[in-house]
Amino acid sequence: MEKAHFFGASKKWLALILCGVIILGIIAADFFINREKSEKTYVAMGTVITSKIQGKGSAEAEEEIRTMINGMETACLSWRCEGSDVYRINEHNGTFESVSQDTAKWIADCVDVSEKSSGAFDITIGKVTKLWNFDGESSNVPSSKEIEKALQAVDYSKMLFNSTAVKIAKGQFIDLGAVGKGIACDSAREILENSGVKSATVSVGGSVLVFGKSATVGVICPDDDTKCVGTINLKDKCVSTSGDYERFFEKDGKKYHHILDPYTGYPVENNLRSVTVICDSGLLSDALSTACFVLGYKGSLGLLNNYDAEAIYIFDDNTIAVTDGVKSFKLTDNSYKMK
Ligand code: AMP
Ligand code: MG
């Protein structure tokens, strides 16, 4: 009896120990698998890209994201890359041009933001952005005559599209510079989801994707883009910043930056230095940050509501305003004040 009892008890112990060993094994395997990580920084899309990926398959996912970003620029987004979807749409202005379903969808999403922002965001601004040439080495202030002429080509409502083809009006020119980095974040998320990695942050210039687990993202100081004015904690979100410090030149003591008012053709002059937008989609966060900059603080709050997006505004008097849903913003630079 005692023996039997002892035998029964030792069996229980054995089973318990075995369970313990199996659980420890699973924890150890998970630990080693998830210790796999990849951190890379490189230049593509005319900007610096940093990806930090954790979990099994991180190196492969990183490689895939890098290939995707390079391919996306040359095959779809860049108006400079001969043969890209955008290049061909511009080249064949006035007629329908076949494009990838992705490009057609991105353009449809851009037009939606144009409609909801009453044209403050408009990818047909291309003739005007080319004139200002903020990406070039020698930027010049165009004459008012040149601006007037280029403005005649700006009108998103003249664009036509279906799921595989896009037509811009004769003489129009599209520039997807305001959304390319956000689109890259969306495509990176698709790769990460399919790869099964645990978590990642992918930063493409002014747009950042936070995937899988929460991460702290810095909001850049407009006076010194190596510093941050504050931080936010995000999880499974995209965040994009548009600022007057990103691309600009100075002429005769005046600063000209790259965010243009589609109604005047000139750089937006309001009391903003930057707008940071947080939402689920990279394309939308990127388009909205540009649109909100053009519309100004009060004029843009309604637009954000349309897309369930939140924003952080930095003003030229070193004050900061955040929308109600931005709960985690922490001010880290005491030369700035909350409004
Ligand atoms: P972002 O830095 O995302 O605000 O994008 C700015 C870039 O978008 C500029 O360099 C132009 O190529 C383009 N852009 C400037 N103003 C506008 C606008 N109002 N609507 C759409 N694209 C614009
Ligand atoms: Mg943008």
Instruction: Report the C-alpha gap between 192 and 53 in whole angstroms.
Output: 9
Ligand 1 atom 1: residue of nearest CA: 178
* Atom nearest to 182 CA in ligand 1: 3
Tell me, in angstroms, the distance from the centre of ligand 2 to residue 63's CA: 25
Strand partners, 256: 249
- Note the pLDDT of residue 2: 41
Task: Tell the burial category of 231 from Cβ atoms under 10 Å away from its Cβ (0-12, 13-18, 19+).
Answer: middle
Confidence (pLDDT) at 90? 98
Tokens standing for residue 214: 């929460």
Mean pLDDT by 10 residues, the chain (339 residues): 50 63 52 75 94 96 96 92 96 97 97 98 97 84 96 98 97 97 98 96 96 97 96 97 94 94 97 98 98 98 97 98 96 96
For a substitution probing ligand 1, which of 90, 175, 208 has the most ligand atoms within 8 Å of its CB?
175
The separation between the first and the last C-alpha atoms of the chain, rounded to the nearest angstrom, is 79
pLDDT of the residue at 10: 66
Per-residue pLDDT at 140: 84
Q: 126 and 173 in contact (C-beta within 8 Å)?
A: yes
Cα 89 to Cα 96: distance, rounded to the nearest angstrom: 8
- Give the atom of ligand 1 at the shortest distance from the alpha carbon of 294: 19
d(CA 275, CA 206): 11
pLDDT at 23: 54
Say what the pLDDT of residue 135 is: 84
- Cα–Cα distance, 85 to 166 (Å, whole number): 9
DSSP H or E segment with residue 38 = strand 37-44
Q: Establish whether residue 286 lines the binding site of ligand 1, counting it when its CB lies within 6 angstroms of any ligand atom.
A: yes
The ligand with the least distance to the CA atom of 293 is 1
**Is the CB of residue 99 less than 8 Å from the CB of residue 174?**
no
Determine the atom of ligand 1 nearest the C-alpha atom of 126.
12
Instruction: Tell me the residue length of the chain.
Output: 339
Please tell me the predicted confidence (pLDDT) of residue 13.
Answer: 63
**CB of residue 121 inside a 6 A radius of ligand 1:** yes
- Strands of 148-284, DSSP E: 160-161, 165-167, 199-204, 207-211, 215-221, 224-234, 237-243, 248-251, 254-257, 272-279
What's the pLDDT score for residue 3? 46
Q: How far apart are CA 281 and CA 79, in angstroms?
A: 23
Provide the token pair at 31: 């630990």
Give SS3 for 308.
coil
The DSSP secondary-structure symbol of 77 reads I
Measured from the Cα of 286, ligand 1's closest atom is 3
Q: How many contiguous H segments (helices) and E segments (strands) does the chain have?
A: 9, 17
Q: Say which residue the tokens 């057609």 belong to.
A: 104
User: For ligand 1, is residue 129 a contact (CB within 6 Å)?
Assistant: yes
Pairing mode, strands 199-204 and 47-54: antiparallel
